[in-house]
Amino acid sequence: MARLLRVRLNPTTFERSTVASGTENPKTILSLHPKASSFRTKTMSHSSIPREKLIRKCRQKKKEEEEEPLGGDMEDLFSEKETQKIRRSMLEWYDTNQRDLPWRRRREEEEGEKEKRAYEVWVSEIMLQQTRVQTVMEYYKRWMLKWPTIHHLAQASLEEVNEMWAGLGYYRRARFLLEGAKMVVAEKEGFPNQASSLMKVKGIGEYTAGAIASIAFNEAVPVVDGNVIRVLARLKAISANPKDRHTIKNFWKLAAQLVDPSRPGDFNQSLMELGATLCAVSKPSCSSCPVSGQCRAYSHFQENGSIPVTDYPTKVVKAKPKHDFCCVCVLEILNQESNQSGGRFVLVKRPEGGLLAGLWEFPSVILDKEANLTTRRNAINIYLKEAFHVEPKKTCNVVSRKELGEFVHIFTHIRRKIYVELLVVQLTEGETNDLFKEQAKDTLTWKCVDSDVLSTMGLTSAVRKVYSMVEAHKQGLSAAPVSSNRTAISRKRRIT
């Protein structure tokens, strides 16, 4: 059974995270910063309450919270006056300060314009969940040139979509985008124009539905991503764990209260824009902020300089990533008969389901612990024999076998050390056919491509890095060691 390279993305470089509202945890509520003068807690003391009574009490509390109307707990919501002021200030600020981004450009109203805009918002929002705005702009432009409408996208293959997405990471989202487009087009009812119906489309969650519905269809629904959480946490000086489901639910309530019914899309974008620019993770520009007068965190800071606004939202300690190790064997086949200068490289396709579904990579083996060269080569030899019936020196003429170096790739939960070797073998055309004809086609799909094709393929950033080491080696440059890289991204990401 082939063991393949598994690639994930790094959580630290996100432009935006999206946060679905969760179910309640009866013990958790929004609370103020412990250093602030108005600090209060609402945690329940259970020690002296009999178990049955405690369960009844928790159930009752949960029921109350579920039934609680939006404006039920006015202590935690904005006052009407604050709401009006924030709406006005944010929209004025956004009208003059919004960044010029391709997915924000308006065109003349024409038939199908709203659906086109919905598609653009959808694509841009999914891409923005992956990486920074600057990176997304190029991907977005290329994507729209190739698939300008949802109908064009619905005709695409997964392989084409993966190639276009290559380097953005979280390929599952690209797959869902494609499946969602096919679903909408197949149903022939037009683009769903409400958040509730949008959420039935594959790959569209609460955040994306809110963004599309408010921006493209003017529905007064909120959006809550990492940027919005930061702004709201600071406006209300909320120090509760921002990852907690109940806290997230309260962020959704606050965002729903604030969203301006006359310009919901612009208002939602203004909150996200503020979080991405002035109200940054570190060094926020409070003196230029349009809502500094309504910001409790800023007010606390002015009262007591030892409470910086960056204390909000509370930083949650991340779990340490798992360490593992991966041997990658770039297998290059020279063909005696074709007399070509360069060989062809073997690429293996990952399974159609799961992580990095359907993407191509060099043959590789995952190891649980650090291993010396002999152990790594043994592991690769076993894999090559099982997968391709290739046994260096036995079934093929080894031209060269060289270690090219190693690098560290950080995935969402894994810190992976990747060892790279280049194995060049020489075969006759007949031998090539013989070597590969017995492969288990139901468990492994592979192909041989030349360097021209390889250079233009959509490859994951880790695979691309491996190939750049091969190219550097062939050009006589040092290919190793390569420094640690952080390309992995997660929805639970740092926002910039």
- Alpha-carbon gap, residue 100 to 269, rounded angstroms: 12
What's the count of helices (H) and strands (E) in the chain, helices before strands?
17, 8
Nearer to ligand SF4, 193 or 277 (CB): 277
Nearer to ligand SF4, 178 or 232 (CB): 232
Q: Return the exposure string of 88-101: e unless at least 16 CB atoms fall within 10 Å of the residue's CB, then b.
A: ebbbebbeeeeeee
- Give the x/- contact pattern for ligand SF4 in 213-242, rule: CB under 6 A: ------------------x--xx-------
Contact 127, 139 (CB under 8 A): yes
Nearer to ligand SF4, 4 or 233 (CB): 233
Q: Is 297 in the site for ligand SF4 (CB under 6 A)?
A: yes
Number of CB atoms found within 10 A of residue 266's CB: 19
Residue with tokens 């468990």: 443
SS3 category, 177: helix
Per CB under 6 A, which region of 1-9, 86-94, 282-290, 370-378 contacts ligand SF4?
282-290
Nearer to ligand SF4, 230 or 350 (CB): 230
CB of 282 to ligand SF4, least distance (A): 11
Residue from 147, 165, 170, 298 touching ligand SF4 (CB under 6 A): that is 298
Contact 413, 488 (CB under 8 A): no
- Alpha-carbon gap, residue 490 to 18, rounded angstroms: 10
Contact 177, 94 (CB under 8 A): no
Per CB under 6 A, which region of 70-78, 199-207, 285-293, 359-367 contacts ligand SF4?
285-293
Nearer to ligand SF4, 174 or 286 (CB): 286
Nearer to ligand SF4, 232 or 326 (CB): 232
SS3 category, 261: coil
CB of 238 to ligand SF4, least distance (A): 12
Q: Is 495 in the site for ligand SF4 (CB under 6 A)?
A: no
Q: Is 286 in the site for ligand SF4 (CB under 6 A)?
A: yes
CB of 285 to ligand SF4, least distance (A): 6
**Catalytic one among 15, 115, 120, 125?**
125
Contact 208, 126 (CB under 8 A): yes
Q: Is 309 in the site for ligand SF4 (CB under 6 A)?
A: yes
CB of 293 to ligand SF4, least distance (A): 8
3-state secondary structure 366-384: EECCCCCHHHHHHHHHHHH
**56 Cβ contact partners less than 8 Å away, ≥ 6 residues apart:** none
CB of 297 to ligand SF4, least distance (A): 5
Q: Is 300 in the site for ligand SF4 (CB under 6 A)?
A: no
Per CB under 6 A, which region of 165-173, 208-216, 292-300, 395-403 contacts ligand SF4?
292-300
Which backbone phi and psi does 392 adopt, to 5 degrees?
Answer: -50, 135
Residue type, 230: R
CB of 264 to ligand SF4, least distance (A): 20
Number of residues that bind ligand SF4 (CB under 6 A): 14
Residue from 180, 222, 265, 284 touching ligand SF4 (CB under 6 A): that is 284
- Alpha-carbon gap, residue 241 to 312, rounded angstroms: 10
Residue from 181, 278, 356, 462 touching ligand SF4 (CB under 6 A): that is 278
Q: Is 255 in the site for ligand SF4 (CB under 6 A)?
A: no
- Alpha-carbon gap, residue 449 to 429, rounded angstroms: 15
Q: Indicate the Cα dihedral angle 339, 390, 443, 434, nearest 10°.
A: 60
Nearer to ligand SF4, 234 or 473 (CB): 234
Site for ligand SF4 in 15-54 (CB under 6 A): none
Q: Indicate the Cα dihedral angle 345, 351, 353, 356, nearest 10°.
A: -30
Q: For this structure, is 111 an active site residue?
A: no
- Alpha-carbon gap, residue 217 to 210, rounded angstroms: 10
Provide the angle, in degrees to the nearest 10, between the axes of the packed helices 113-128 and 171-187.
160
Nearer to ligand SF4, 286 or 422 (CB): 286
- Alpha-carbon gap, residue 463 to 486, rounded angstroms: 14
| Pairing verdict, β 344-349 and 397-410 | unpaired
Contact 448, 455 (CB under 8 A): no
CB of 268 to ligand SF4, least distance (A): 16
Nearer to ligand SF4, 126 or 291 (CB): 291
- Alpha-carbon gap, residue 249 to 491, rounded angstroms: 17
CB of 413 to ligand SF4, least distance (A): 31
CB of 294 to ligand SF4, least distance (A): 8
Per CB under 6 A, which region of 92-100, 101-109, 286-294, 344-352 contacts ligand SF4?
286-294
Residue from 90, 211, 215, 289 touching ligand SF4 (CB under 6 A): that is 289
Q: What is the largest CA-CA distance in the chain?
A: 85
Which residues participate in catalysis according to the annotation? 125
Interface with ligand SF4 (CB under 6 A):
231, 234-235, 278-279, 284, 286, 289, 291-292, 295, 297-298, 309
